[in-house]
Amino acid sequence: MTRAHKQPALSELSDQHDQSNQSTLSISSPKKKGVTSKNMIYEIS
């Protein structure tokens, strides 16, 4: 259930960049639109 809650956030990043780069990108650009998604990706990692 927790995973499903974070999936939409990851999908949003996927829209802008590749899934492979989404984690690195959000961490590199915390000021980007994926500021909230960044925290979720951190939890998944």
| Residue 43, φ and ψ in degrees, nearest 5 | -65, -40
**Could you read off the pLDDT of 1-45 as tens digits, one per residue?**
555 555 555 555 555 545 455 555 555 555 555 455 555 555 554
pTM of the model: 0.14
Domain residue limits, the chain: 2-44
Residue 12: the pLDDT is 58
Burial of residue 6 (number of CB atoms within 10 Å: 0-12, 13-18, 19+): middle
